[in-house]
């Protein structure tokens, strides 16, 4: 019944669109005229999206795709790493999907999307079966002049840091009570669980550390409730204009720990190192797949004239890098594989001397301090019968190395 009402609302609105409008002009018309819908019609469309999201949660899916040329009229879900069209959901043409997406946005967000062609935002709805609010990270964008939306479910329950399999020395290094300052990076490709790890780190502090934590993210995902720590959330585009602004402004907010959702550009990277220099503990993320690549990426982001200076500053402020992947497990789900670098004097010297190629072997030989290479951790998961041999090799950064250590088994 709900879908039928939604289809009628969509059909009636589409009839008002001038037939001569096509492509981006058609999307712009929808963005500018969505308020022609009555409040009850808008509610019907929003409830339709909530119905999709309810089904998504109950299927244990992580992502939903609505709209866009590439969807072919279907809604798609990613479930345990596999993205597939959902044939029991109603199909939506490009106009219908665009209206449903636009209806989720406020007027400022619609204006921003019309100009920039991309919008990150958060969305919350009441999951009635459990009577809890569920949050989603959303990204609206254009796909061949059609409007598309990805929404990712944000875990409503934080995993304890102890459950992520870190060595006790690594947990100590991550702790503000043990090391008061320094930069820690959590890296990995999109969908590798970086946010889950960051939230676990924040929650661990929130349970024991009387500190001020400022989180700057785009968008804010999990909303922490202040416990032993006081936690402030600043969403880029809503509470602060840019990551760089949020980082610089945080210095006047008496923080102990600053969490930067992503170091997206040279300005944010430099700001992060600057606040770390001033004696704060900083956590952030990068889209890189190994510790060495993370170091090289930060330096390469800078102007060639600045690279040596940034390399030296990075060596001084960096304390740890966690690079992670979610690997398909034998039970059909996914399991965390990680590489961990602790910055020892030898690692610091290798960074300053631009000898980052030496760092892999330092990680390889640093098990006593909690370091582990991605290949060593994949081997551990394979030997504990959590992942297949094929996936151990497929998800390794160094194919030669993984085959060497597995052949010795």
Convert the pLDDT of each residue in 256-303 to its tens digit: 999 999 998 999 999 999 999 889 999 999 999 999 999 999 999 999
Q: 161-407 has which CATH code?
A: 3.40.50.300
Least confident of 158-162, 228-232, 235-239, 294-298: 235-239
**Does the pLDDT at position 1 exceed 80?**
no
- Residue-wise DSSP of 112-140: HHHHHSEEEEEEEEEETTTTEEEEEEEEE
DSSP state of 224: P
Residue 182: the pLDDT is 95
Do 40 and 109 touch, CB atoms closer than 8 A? no
Report the pLDDT averaged over residues 202-222. Answer: 93
Cβ neighbours of residue 58 under 8 Å, at least 6 residues apart? 129
- CA–CA dist 13, 256 (Å, integer): 51
- H or E element that contains 215: strand 212-217
Bridge partners of 397, per DSSP, are none
Whole-angstrom Cα distance, residue 303 to residue 95?
A: 44
DSSP strands (E only) in 329-385: 334-342
Region(s) of the chain under CATH 3.30.450.90? 2-153
pLDDT at residue 131 is higher than 70: yes
Q: What is the mean pLDDT of residues 360-385?
A: 96
Distance between CA atoms of residues 262 and 283, nearest Å: 9
Mean pLDDT, residues 23-48 taken together: 95
Confidence of residue 209 (pLDDT cuts 50, 70, 90): very high
Q: How confident is the model at residue 409 (pLDDT cuts 50, 70, 90)?
A: low
Which residues in the chain are classed under CATH 3.40.50.300? 161-407
- Is pTM, for the whole model, over 0.75? yes
Query: What's the average model confidence in pLDDT over 159-171?
Result: 93
The CATH number assigned to the domain with range 2-153 reads: 3.30.450.90
Q: What pLDDT is recorded for position 359?
A: 97
409 or 100, higher pLDDT: 100
Q: What is the mean pLDDT of residues 51-68?
A: 95
Confidence at residue 347, expressed as pLDDT on a 0 to 100 scale: 97
For 316-369, the pLDDT digits (tens) are: 999 999 999 999 999 988 999 999 999 999 999 999 999 999 999 999 999 999
Mean of per-residue pLDDT scores for the chain:
93
pLDDT of residue 406: 87
Measure the CA–CA gap between 409 and 406, rounded to whole angstroms: 5
What residues form DSSP beta bridges with 338?
Answer: 324
Which of 126-130, 163-167, 289-293, 337-341 has the lowest average pLDDT?
A: 126-130
Give the model's pLDDT for residue 407. 84
């Amino acid at each position: 019944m709900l879908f039928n009402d939604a289809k009628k609302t969509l059909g009636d609105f589409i009839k008002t669109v001038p037939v001569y409008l096509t492509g981006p002009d058609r999307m712009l018309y929808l963005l500018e005229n969505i308020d022609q819908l009555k409040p009850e019609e808008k509610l019907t469309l929003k409830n339709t999206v909530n119905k999709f999201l309810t089904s998504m949660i109950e299927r244990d899916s992580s992502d939903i795709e609505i709209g866009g040329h590439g969807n072919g009229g279907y809604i798609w879900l990613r479930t345990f790493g596999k993205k597939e069209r959902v044939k029991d959901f109603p199909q939506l043409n490009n106009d219908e999907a665009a209206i449903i997406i636009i209806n989720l946005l406020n007027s400022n967000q619609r204006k921003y999307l019309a100009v920039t062609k991309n919008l990150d935002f958060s969305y919350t709805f009441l999951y009635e079966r459990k009577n809890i609010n569920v949050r989603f990270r959303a990204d609206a964008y254009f796909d061949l002049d059609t409007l598309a939306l990805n929404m990712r479910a944000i875990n409503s329950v934080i995993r304890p840091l102890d459950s992520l399999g870190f060595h006790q020395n690594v947990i100590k290094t991550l702790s503000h009570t043990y090391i008061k300052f320094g930069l820690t990076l959590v890296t990995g490709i999109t969908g590798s669980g970086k946010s889950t790890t960051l939230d676990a780190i924040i929650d661990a502090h929130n349970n024991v550390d009387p500190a001020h934590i400022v989180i700057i993210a785009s968008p804010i995902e999990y909303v922490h409730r202040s416990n032993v720590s006081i936690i402030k959330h600043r969403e880029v585009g809503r509470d602060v204009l840019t990551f760089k602004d949020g980082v610089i402004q945080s210095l006047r907010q008496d923080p102990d720990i600053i969490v930067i959702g992503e170091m997206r550009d040279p300005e944010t990277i430099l700001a992060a190192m600057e606040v770390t220099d001033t004696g704060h503990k900083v956590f952030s993320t990068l889209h890189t797949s190994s510790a060495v690549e993370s170091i090289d990426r930060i330096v390469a982001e800078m102007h060639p004239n600045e690279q040596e200076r940034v390399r030296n500053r990075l060596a001084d402020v960096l304390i740890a890098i966690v690079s992670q992947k979610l690997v398909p497990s034998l039970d059909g789900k996914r399991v965390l594989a990680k590489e961990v670098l602790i910055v020892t004097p030898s690692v610091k010297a290798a960074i300053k001397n631009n000898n980052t190629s030496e760092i892999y072997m330092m990680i390889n030989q640093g098990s006593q301090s909690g370091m582990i290479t991605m290949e060593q951790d994949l081997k551990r998961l394979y030997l504990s019968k959590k992942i297949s041999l094929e996936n151990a090799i497929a998800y390794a950064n160094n194919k030669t190395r993984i085959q060497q250590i597995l052949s010795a088994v």
